[in-house]
Amino acid sequence: MTSPSFSITGSPHRRRALGAGLCVTALLLAGCTGSLGDTEGSGGPLPGGNGPVQGGVARGIDMPGAPQYHRFVRLTNTQWARSVQVVLNLAAPSSLSEGFEKPVAGATDFTNNEHLLSVNQRSWDDYRSAAEALAKEVTSSDSALARVYPGTDAEGFIETVGRRAYRRPLTDAEVTRYAALFETGAATSGSRSAFAKGAQLVIQTLLQSPHFLYRMELGEEGEPLDGYEVAAKLSLLLREAAPNDELLDEAPRLTTPEAIAAVAETMLEEPDAVKVMRHFHRELLHFDRYGTISKIGVPDYDESLNAEYEESAYLFFEKIFTDGLGVKDILTSTKGFVGPGMASIYGLSPSGRGVVERDLGPERVGFFSQLPYLTLNALNDESDSIHRGVSINLDVLCTPLGAPAPNIPPVPPLEPGQTNRERITRLTGACGGSCHNELINPVGFAFEHFDGMGRYRDEENGGLPIDSSGVYTFSEGPKAFADAGELMRHMAEGEQAHLCYAKKLASFALQRDVVPVDLPLVEALAKVSRGTGAGGSVKDLMVALVKNEAFRTRMGGTL
């Protein structure tokens, strides 16, 4: 069953936007592929109409990519499942999304990026079959349908459920079209009530509409989003779900930064926000890789540690978020979460059966001096200064490193009387560039006091003293350090790590590549993160972000 057609009414810009929506409906129903707004070339229109946006470097921060600024952004699988829950008043998110096609990780910083949210034949088939299954399920009886809508009037049902699905009130014309569809369904044969049969056809059509499957921004370039668009954007960001009835009631008032911030502050205290930030930090720092750790010939390693590492990492960042902490605490906290298997590696007394917070001592400064990060970025029982250096540069400092050199030789075994630092310096010295000598190696060598299991040590390879000192040129200039702890404190007090975190958070929240034209946004968020503006917590950054014009206005792009 196809969706009803819609006439186009309203202001000229709204008619153009809704007209594009009709094109989307036709594309979806025809099973065409590609994401709405896809264009040939390497970048979308620059806000202001000055040509394509390209990635680059700004303030020492790598900002690659080519944002398209799509006016229609398809729901992620999680957003779809949780939005269905809201629309139909389900007890839990729909599990049908577990069988949906998943985005390919690695092509962008985050899997919710607009570039990855296309609709192809398989995904359209998934949406159609899921819509039909859910509509059948919730209208199987009048009592089941009463959980979706307690009344028995068709118009009230269409307006209430339609508003949840479209994330805005339906127009009079839309209500009329759905009323006709309701009557068609009600007249079909079967033992269920006419109301249930009519509601089934309406629900399965609503859930296949582009107004449900896409978050839409219909205004002219540079115009503020309307209150319903803001409500949808906020809810899909901070709850990963369509706005509920209460938020939709509030939507007309979401027209000022202060009103938007007030709603965001409330949402940030909800359990759903914790899940959202768990998702953000998982993709930011690749927590999915903990399950892949393996060690050969390392007696202290057991595969059961992998689950402890992963949970420890999640709990650390959950505490950062829920306790109102920020980037400085990520980089400098000497507390972490320890599982029973991790305790002995830390040199601590047994921690019991669970993963609990412990003081890790002065040598463990920040998350990157903790076992999860160190063990992941290691080779068996040896430290891996190259991967440690690369990951800090890319994920924490956003340093442009360029493409790796071709035909990289393997790391040779340690020779007698040779430190790991000497081995890596010899291996990378022939590359002829500053990448290793000035960027990767100094950061990697800062962690030489931690072996491949993350254990702290003062000597290596038969008693050789460890040198973890170095100099790193940050965006604001070079700084010397004696070890990882001092490096982390430089990063916490400087600007680059805050700029990088702000850039990554903005990319996640805006669901697009963040490029040099976005530098004012990134700088404003970094200022908050450093505590030179209001606050300094991750929550403060989120509030500052949703108040910013980059979040509140229509930024350009094609229909």
Task: Provide the pLDDT for residue 353.
Answer: 82
Percent of the chain with pLDDT over 90: 81
Examine the pLDDT at 440 and tell me if it is beyond 60.
yes
> Among 33-42, 159-168, 176-185, 331-340, which is the least confidently predicted range?
33-42
* pLDDT confidence band for 318 (50 / 70 / 90): very high
Mean pLDDT for the stretch of residues 200-212: 98
Q: How far is CA 171 from the centre of its chain?
A: 33
Q: How far apart are CA 469 and CA 484, in angstroms?
A: 8
Examine the pLDDT at 9 and tell me if it is beyond 70.
no
pLDDT digits (tens, 9 = 90+) for 413-438: 999 999 999 999 998 876 555 667 78
Yes or no: say if 488 and 443 are a contact pair by the CB < 8 Å rule: no
Mean pLDDT for the stretch of residues 3-28: 31
* pLDDT confidence band for 57 (50 / 70 / 90): very high
Task: Provide the pLDDT for residue 30.
Answer: 26
Single out the residue of 313, 466, 475 nearest to residue 382, CA to CA.
466
Examine the pLDDT at 23 and tell me if it is beyond 50.
no
Mean pLDDT for the stretch of residues 530-544: 85
* pLDDT confidence band for 22 (50 / 70 / 90): very low
CA 378 vs CA 391, 401, 421, 526: distances in Å: 12, 20, 14, 31
Give the residue extent of every domain in the chain: 286-404+417-493
Q: What is the mean pLDDT of the chain?
A: 89
Yes or no: say if 466 and 506 are a contact pair by the CB < 8 Å rule: no
Rg of the chain over all Cα atoms, to the nearest angstrom: 26
Mean pLDDT for the stretch of residues 467-495: 97
Task: Provide the pLDDT for residue 38.
Answer: 31
Task: Provide the pLDDT for residue 4.
Answer: 38
pLDDT digits (tens, 9 = 90+) for 125-140: 999 999 999 999 999 9
pLDDT digits (tens, 9 = 90+) for 155-165: 999 999 999 99
Task: Provide the pLDDT for residue 26.
Answer: 28
Task: Provide the pLDDT for residue 335.
Answer: 98
* Residues in Cβ contact with 339 at an 8 Å cutoff, skipping those fewer than 6 apart: 305, 307, 308, 311, 312, 351, 354, 355
Examine the pLDDT at 34 and tell me if it is beyond 80.
no
Single pTM value for the model:
0.90
> Which pair of tokens denotes residue 319?
């505490």
> Among 39-53, 254-268, 332-346, 486-500, which is the least confidently predicted range?
39-53
